[in-house]
Structure 1
Amino acid sequence: MDNNADSVVLRDEEGKDIEFNIITKLDIKDNEYIIVCPKYENVDEAIALKIDKDSEGKDILMTIEDEEEFDMVSEAYEILFAEDSSY
């Protein structure tokens, strides 16, 4: 995924396109993840997505189904956020 991207458009369950701001990109154990939040909605929660490749080698975003993997990404994000807030 382009490291300079600042937003991404995702389609919800109803087929509606929603633009998300990319908060950060994380590289953990040879995997890439992004943390996003809706661009035009006032919410306090972020969403963690795994960057994977499709059969053609193009980036695709996947929800993180594995609880241990999700916890690992959440912990990395919390550590990064704690470091950023110390300035």
Structure 2
Amino acid sequence: MEDMTDLIVLTDDEGNEVEVEVVTRLEIEDVEYFIVSPVESDEEEPVFTALKVVYDEEGNEFFETVDDDVEIAMIEEAYSVIFDEDGLN
């Protein structure tokens, strides 16, 4: 059976590469978000991060960490609705 897990490598603020698993992708109000979790973590519980897809002036795509509490609440609500509908939650 083929592994269908999407993995991407991100570079943190200190220049370190971090491999993360894409848990899901969401589109909310025409904005695309990725929910990711580090492949390797020292934490006992899973750690999830919300990333927003943004574009620079040249149209290059990159990720921005979502820090706004209102935006995070909106993402959490959309995530829970999707997984409740799929019977996964």
With normalisation by structure 2, the TM-score equals 0.78
- Structure 2: gaps spanning 5 or more residues: none
Q: Which residue does 1:74 correspond to in 2?
A: 76
RMSD of aligned residue pairs (Cα, Å): 2.1
Q: Distance in 1 between matches of 2:57 and 2:9?
A: 21
Query: Among residues 52, 55, 62, which one is paired with 2:54 in the alignment?
Result: 52
Alignment length (residue pairs): 83
Q: Which residue does 1:11 correspond to in 2?
A: 11
Residues 41-78 of structure 1 show CA distances to partners (whole Å, capped at 9, x for unaligned) of 36412111100101211111001132211110111112
Structure 1 residue 80: deviation in Å? 1.9
With normalisation by structure 1, the TM-score equals 0.80
* Percent identity between the two aligned chains: 39
Q: Distance in 1 between matches of 2:5 and 2:28?
A: 19
- Structure 1: gaps spanning 5 or more residues: none
Identify which range, 21-30 or 74-83, moves more after superposition.
74-83
Q: Distance in 1 between matches of 2:62 and 2:13?
A: 16
Q: Distance in 1 between matches of 2:5 and 2:55?
A: 17
